[in-house]
Structure 1
Amino acid sequence: MQEKRQRTVRESQAERSEVIFPGDANGLGNLFGGRLMQFIDLVGAVAAYRHARATTVVTASMDSLDFVAPVHVGEVLILKASVNRAFRTSMEVGVKAMVEDPKTGNLRHVSSAYLTYVAVDDSGHPVEVDCLVPETEHQKRRFDDALKRREARSGEVERKKRLRKSLENAWYI
């Protein structure tokens, strides 16, 4: 087994920009929430790939997705992602979505999300990832908060397992 190395948050940061077109929007001219989720997942995966340096990463969960404001046709969507914390085989990635007004350059926050990715090998088995070293106070706070969210999620995972077990014979689920 190869020795774990340390990576900084800066080494894995990712950014993506998209111009929003009518095909991305609903009848009101607002970006579909599902399309925004897709963009968030894609930029988050890039940050996870950069940190893990694995063959692939898979999305394990997306939580705390907040739609703060709509994104309109013609606006420029800017998404920024960084790894908040790395665990044994998984990583929590934070993504912030902003809209840039193309005429003024002003930025508006429209969404934030936390995603968990797992690094896997060619057979789909989880592989260990490198340690994350936060450098700034902001990164250290995000690093600490990621552990709290992970602990909260672990209780939720057990609750969902019990729920699935109780509903396994239900025809309507």
Structure 2
Amino acid sequence: MSTAKTAKESFSVMTNLVLPSETNNLGNMFGGELLASMDRISSISAKMHGGSFLVVTASVNHVAFNIPIPMGSTVKLESKVTRAFNSSMEVYVDVFVYDYENSCYNQTNTGIYTFVAVDKENKPVKVPELIPETEQEIERYEGALRRKQLSLVLSGRMKPEDATELKSLFIK
């Protein structure tokens, strides 16, 4: 296994058509349908980065349902690992809807997932380090440690005084 990978090595794309069975009574895609698609594509990115078929969703850290996605829409999901820790990986998902009038994709939603690579006995295994390259990758990489620490503090698995990245936002 390589000791480091770039974010583009975990880049995944999925395109889908929103069907009537996937919509609510307002004619928009169910949030749960979108979450399932986001979980699927982010697991692919985690598998690609981790170099293992075995990854499990540890948490859905954030999902923003910014713009409803109407029935019949062409939806594109893009995901990539934004940071790798010991055995866990943060995966960012961006959701776009195709605008046929203007021939372009417009971003509608985002999500941040955490996956853990495991062996056949479901024990965590080490994953390669991630090397961010683009400005957006660097920004998301740097924010990942703050998001992880916040999650650990909120779940009671880290003391607030030990969350150095979070404290650095407030104390100079």
Amino acid at match of 1:5: T
Does 1:130 find its partner at 2:128? yes
Distance 1:106 1:22 in 2: 23
Amino acid at match of 1:117: F
Amino acid at match of 1:24: E
**Paired positions, count:** 157
1:91 aligned residue: 89
Unaligned 5+ residue runs, structure 1?
A: 160-173
SS of equivalent to 2:69: coil
2:118 aligned residue: 120
1:82 aligned residue: 80
Deviation at 1:44, TM superposition (A): 0.5
Identity %: 34
2:53 aligned residue: 55
Query: What's the TM-score, normalizing by structure 1?
Result: 0.86
User: Residue 97 of structure 1 contacts residue 110 of structure 1 at CA under 8 Å; is this kept in 2?
Assistant: yes
- Cα distance per residue 1:125-159 (max 9 Å; x no partner): 11000010111222111110001101111101118
Deviation at 1:108, TM superposition (A): 2.2
Structure 1 segment 88-167 matched on structure 2, within 5 A: 88-158=86-156
1:170 aligned residue: none
RMSD of equivalent CA atoms: 1.3
Distance 2:99 2:42 in 1: 23
Query: What's the TM-score, normalizing by structure 2?
Result: 0.87
Distance 1:37 1:52 in 2: 22
Deviation at 1:103, TM superposition (A): 4.7
Deviation at 1:55, TM superposition (A): 3.1
- Cα distance per residue 1:55-74 (max 9 Å; x no partner): 31100000221100110111
SS of equivalent to 2:77: strand
User: Residue 55 of structure 1 contacts residue 122 of structure 1 at CA under 8 Å; is this kept in 2?
Assistant: no
User: Residue 75 of structure 1 contacts residue 102 of structure 1 at CA under 8 Å; is this kept in 2?
Assistant: no
1:35 aligned residue: 33
Distance 2:127 2:75 in 1: 30
Unaligned 5+ residue runs, structure 2?
A: 158-172
